[in-house]
C-alpha cells in the first residue's frame, strides 16, 4: 500500500468524524449572512463619566451618546408606538442593583433623533439612583424603543464613591425671620470641609448637612500643596472660605446654610497676602490683603 492511498484513507476517516461539526458551522454562516437587518445594532450607545471618583453625596454625572442607525427617525414621546426610554444598570459595592430614586425620569421624552445623527445627554446619575454608599460601582446605559426589535446597551464603566478626609468642621444655628417660640429649638447645620482624590486631582469640597438631610456638596478648590482652606462663620451663620488656587491666586467663597453660593471673588497676592478677617464689633467677615484678580489676565476659569 503506497503512501498516497494511506493519506486518502486517513482523510476520509477525519472527514467522517468531523463532517457533523462542519455542517453546523456551515448553517451558522448561512444564518449570519442572510439574517434580517433587525438583528443588527440599530442604535449605537456610548457612556462616559465626568470623574473616576466622587465624594459621598456629590452629584455624579454621566454623558450618553446615542447614534441612530435604524434608517428612520426615532421619536421619543408619550404615544405607545413612539415610547422609548434610557435607563441605567448600576451594580453597587454589595453586588446588588442600585435602587431608583426618580422612577418617572424620562430624559429622552420629546427628543427626535434623525437617521445617522448622534444625540448626547448629560444625566445626574446620583439623583436617579441611590449610589450614596461608599465603594466601587459598575454602570452601563441601556436604551429601549417600541419601534426597535431589541434594547441596546453601552460600554460598562467603573467608578468609586469615597467619604474623603475631614479637614475642618463647624456646627451653626440656622437663622430665621420668625420669632423663636418658647419650646422651639434652634435648628442646626454642620459645615464640613473634606478632601479626596477624584482620579486626577486632590479636591477640597464643602458639605452642608444635619441629622436628616444633605443640603449640598460644593467643590471649592484643589490641594496644590501650599495651604488648607481658611474658614470663618459670620453672624448670619454663613461660611466664608478662602482657598489658594496657585502660588499667587486665592479664591473667596461665601455659602449659606442651604449650601447656596452667595459670593465668589478671586484675589491675587501682591505686597500682601489675602486673608480672612473678622470685625469683632459687627461680626462681618471680609478679605484683607492682596488685590482683586482679573479673569483672563491673572487667572483662567479652567477647572470646575
Average pLDDT over the chain, rounded to whole? 85
Taking 90 as the threshold, does the pLDDT of residue 169 lie above it? yes
Query: 269-301 as b/e, with b when 16 or more CB fall inside 10 Å?
Result: beeeebebeeeeeeeebebeebeebeeeeebee
Who contacts 82 (Cβ-Cβ below 8 Å, separation ≥6)?
75, 76, 146, 147
143 and 202 in a single domain? The answer is: no
Taking 60 as the threshold, does the pLDDT of residue 34 lie above it? no
206 and 156 in a single domain? The answer is: no
149 and 189 in a single domain? The answer is: no
Mean pLDDT across the stretch 166-180?
86
141 and 170 in a single domain? The answer is: no
Taking 80 as the threshold, does the pLDDT of residue 27 lie above it? no
CA distances from 288 to 256, 266, 271, 297 (A): 21, 12, 12, 21
152 and 223 in a single domain? The answer is: no
Q: What is the pLDDT of residues 96-114, one digit of tens each?
A: 999 999 888 888 999 999 9
Provide the whole-model pTM: 0.78
Taking 60 as the threshold, does the pLDDT of residue 217 lie above it? yes
In a domain, 258, yes or no: yes
Residue ending a domain, among 130, 161, 192, is 161
37 or 173: which carries more pLDDT confidence?
173
CA distance 105 to 115: 25
Taking 70 as the threshold, does the pLDDT of residue 8 lie above it? no
Question: Residue 144 belongs to what H/E stretch?
Answer: strand 135-145
- What integer pLDDT is reported at residue 268 of this predicted model? 94
- What integer pLDDT is reported at residue 22 of this predicted model? 47
214: containing domain:
164-176+184-292
Taking 80 as the threshold, does the pLDDT of residue 35 lie above it? no
Paired strand residues for 191: 170, 208
Q: Which of 67-81, 155-169, 230-244 has the lowest mean pLDDT?
A: 67-81
* 223 and 195 Cβ atoms separated by less than 8 Å: yes
Cell 422609548 maps to which residue?
84
103 and 133 in a single domain? The answer is: yes
125 and 188 in a single domain? The answer is: no
- What integer pLDDT is reported at residue 11 of this predicted model? 39
- What integer pLDDT is reported at residue 46 of this predicted model? 97
Q: How many domains does the chain have?
A: 2
Amino acid at each position: 500500500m503506497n503512501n498516497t492511498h494511506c493519506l486518502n484513507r486517513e482523510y476520509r476517516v477525519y472527514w467522517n468524524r468531523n463532517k457533523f461539526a462542519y455542517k453546523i458551522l456551515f448553517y451558522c454562516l448561512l444564518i449570519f449572512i442572510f439574517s434580517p437587518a433587525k438583528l443588527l445594532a440599530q442604535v449605537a450607545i456610548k457612556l462616559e463619566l465626568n470623574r473616576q471618583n466622587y465624594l459621598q453625596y456629590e452629584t455624579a454625572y454621566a454623558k450618553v451618546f446615542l447614534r441612530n442607525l435604524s434608517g428612520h427617525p426615532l421619536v421619543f414621546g408619550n404615544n405607545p408606538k413612539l415610547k422609548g426610554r434610557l435607563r441605567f444598570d448600576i451594580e453597587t459595592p454589595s453586588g446588588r442593583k442600585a435602587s431608583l430614586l426618580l422612577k418617572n425620569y424620562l430624559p429622552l421624552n420629546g427628543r427626535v433623533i434623525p437617521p445617522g445623527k448622534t444625540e448626547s445627554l448629560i444625566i445626574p446619575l446620583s439623583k436617579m439612583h441611590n449610589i450614596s454608599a461608599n465603594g466601587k460601582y459598575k454602570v452601563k446605559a441601556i436604551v429601549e424603543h417600541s419601534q426597535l426589535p431589541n434594547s441596546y446597551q453601552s460600554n460598562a464603566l467603573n467608578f468609586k464613591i469615597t467619604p474623603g478626609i475631614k479637614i475642618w468642621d463647624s456646627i451653626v444655628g440656622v437663622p430665621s425671620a420668625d420669632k423663636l417660640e418658647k419650646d422651639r429649638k434652634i435648628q442646626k447645620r454642620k459645615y464640613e470641609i473634606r478632601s479626596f482624590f477624584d482620579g486626577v486631582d486632590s479636591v477640597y469640597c464643602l458639605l452642608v448637612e444635619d441629622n436628616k438631610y444633605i443640603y449640598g456638596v460644593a467643590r471649592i478648590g484643589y490641594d496644590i500643596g501650599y495651604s488648607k482652606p481658611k474658614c470663618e462663620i459670620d453672624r448670619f451663620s454663613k461660611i466664608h472660605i478662602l482657598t489658594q488656587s496657585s502660588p499667587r491666586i486665592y479664591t473667596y467663597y461665601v455659602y449659606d446654610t442651604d449650601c447656596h453660593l452667595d459670593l465668589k471673588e478671586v484675589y491675587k497676592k501682591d505686597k500682601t497676602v489675602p486673608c480672612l478677617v473678622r470685625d469683632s464689633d459687627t461680626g462681618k467677615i471680609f478679605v484683607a490683603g492682596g488685590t482683586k484678580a482679573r479673569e483672563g489676565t491673572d487667572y483662567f476659569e479652567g477647572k470646575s
